[in-house]
Structure formats: C-alpha cells, structure tokens
Amino acid sequence: MNHPPTGQRPITNGTFGRYAGVYAALWRNSVVREMTFKTNFLMWIVVEMLWFAMQLLFINVLYLHTDTIGTWTKWQVVMLMGGSHFIQQIFQAFFLGNITALSENIRTGKLDFMLLLPVNTRFLISLRNVDLGGFVNAGSALAVMVFAAVKLNLAPSLWQIAGFLSLALVGVMMHYSLMLMLACISFWSVKAQGIVWGYYNLFNIARLPDEAFRGMFKTFFTFVVPMLLVSNVPVKLLANKLASPFEIVLLFAMGLLCFAASEWTWRFAVKRYTSASS
C-alpha cells in the first residue's frame, strides 16, 4: 500500500494527542525565546499599541468633520477598528512570523529537514513559533471594543459574543489561508516575501466600514481579497448592524473556499519541491 510523503500525511483522529504534545512543546520554546529577549518583547508591544492609538486618533480627527461614514457613527467605527485589530493581532500571534519565514526556510534548506520530520509539514510551517505579544495587543483591542460598546449603550447577548468570536476565528483562518497561498510562490521565486508583506499591509482596509467603498473596489475587497468581510461582519453582529444573515453565510463560505484553495496550493507546491540542494 502506498503512503503519501511524511510532510503531506493528513492529521487523523488518532494523532491529535501527539500533535497537541508537539504544539505544547512549540509553545514552551516560544515562551523561552520571548523571555530571553524581554526588552524586544516589550518594545514591540509598545510599538503596536502606539500604532493602534494613532489609528484611533485619526478616526477622532476624521469625525471632527463628519457625523457618519455611510451609516456608521464614530463609536461604531471605533468598535470596528477594535475588532479589526483584535483579528489582526490573533493572526499575528499564531501565523504571521511563520508564514513570512517560509521563503527563508526554502532558501536555506531548512524545509528539507522539516519534510523529513514525522509530523505534517504544513502544521509545523504554520505553527512553529508563537508571538506572545500578539495576545497582549489583542487584549487591548478588546478593551477598546468594550469601551466603544459602553459609549453606544450596547449590551451584546452571549450568543452575539460567541458569534463574534466564531466569525473572528473564520477571519483569522481566511487571512492565514490567503497569506499561505502567496507564500507558496517562494517555491518558485525567492522574492515572494515582499508579496506576503504587501498582503499584510492591506489589513488596514479591514479597519474601515464597507459602506465607505463603492463599485469594483468594494467588489474586489469583498470577493477576491475579502478584507471587508473579515472585520465588518463580526462587528456588525455585535453592533446590531447586520442587514441579513447572508453576510455571515458569505463569510463562512469564503473562509472554507480560501482554506480549501490554500490546501490545494500547498500540496501542489510541495509535490514540485526538489529541495534547496538540487
């Protein structure tokens, strides 16, 4: 009976315990690494918080000259920015550093070693390191969302909060899937890292209400690169701004489509990988 290469074997129910142990070891290594360089760890938390504060200040200045963006009031947009920052920071905590390192792993031959390990290579490539600062910054984003909710006199129900967290998770996985597909260009070109970071810079679009966009621009960032769905739909659920359940269905459908496409792209790229030494 033929078996797929080690790096492409699927994770089955019988192996979840082993993978949980592997992931726990990766977490321990990440904690040790972060605590070894405490100053760097704290500095990046401060940098991210300052950047977030500047974005909030921009919104405050913007609303000195207008009352609404579409139908979005100032504090609704602040909640949207908090939701977008929360999703971005959770993505950064789990995936960003790992995905951007794929190009370097291919160039230096480290991927050859990973393919030989008795674990699923996509699992290892995607989750090898954890950015603990991302969780701290995600907490600050939630604090901003709570403050905005108080200003709006909102009292979300438990199902709304659970729905927000579920939709935020879909958004994180959508970002991960799209960025992994872009990173797979590294199998053919060593310059793919710039494309990956270019996609990351587009995250700022998700901080704005979808009503601020029109025409082809809105269509592109809804169905091709679904930035507007990722943060708008979860926050709309909390802020009671969902026009219909269709937006939730669309977000889940796009999430599944992106994940399936990323799996196909990853398998296609790995099958054609001939190692850095060949």
Cα(58)–Cα(123) distance, integer angstroms: 38
Give the model's pLDDT for residue 50: 92
Residue type at 109 in one-letter notation? G
Parts of the chain with a pLDDT under 50: 1-4, 6
Give the model confidence (pLDDT) of 21-77 as tens digits.
888 888 888 888 878 877 887 888 888 899 999 989 998 898 888 888 888 999 999
Give the model's pLDDT for residue 11: 53
Question: Is 199 part of a structural domain of the chain?
Answer: yes
Question: Is 123 part of a structural domain of the chain?
Answer: yes
Question: Is 100 part of a structural domain of the chain?
Answer: yes
Give the model's pLDDT for residue 19: 84
Cα(277)–Cα(151) distance, integer angstroms: 59
- Parent domain of 55: 38-271
Q: What share of the chain is helix, strand, coil (3-state, %, to 5)?
A: 80, 0, 20
Cα(258)–Cα(180) distance, integer angstroms: 10
Strands (E), 130-195: none
**Burial environment of residue 54 by CB neighbours within 10 A (0 to 12, 13 to 18, 19 or more):** exposed
Question: Is 174 part of a structural domain of the chain?
Answer: yes
Question: Is 169 part of a structural domain of the chain?
Answer: yes
Give the long-range contacts of residues 35-44, CB within 8 A, separation 24 or more: 41/132, 41/133, 44/133
- List CB contacts of 193: < 8 A, sequence separation 6 or more: 100, 103, 104, 183, 186
Handedness of CA 169, 175, 179, 181 (dihedral sign): positive
Check: CB of residue 23 under 8 Å from CB of residue 127: yes
Cα(111)–Cα(109) distance, integer angstroms: 5
Check: CB of residue 168 under 8 Å from CB of residue 206: no
Give the model confidence (pLDDT) of 100-114 as tens digits.
999 888 888 889 888
What length does the chain have? 278
Question: Is 99 part of a structural domain of the chain?
Answer: yes
Question: Is 33 part of a structural domain of the chain?
Answer: no
Number of domains, the chain: 1
Question: Is 120 part of a structural domain of the chain?
Answer: yes
* Cross-strand partners of 72: 69
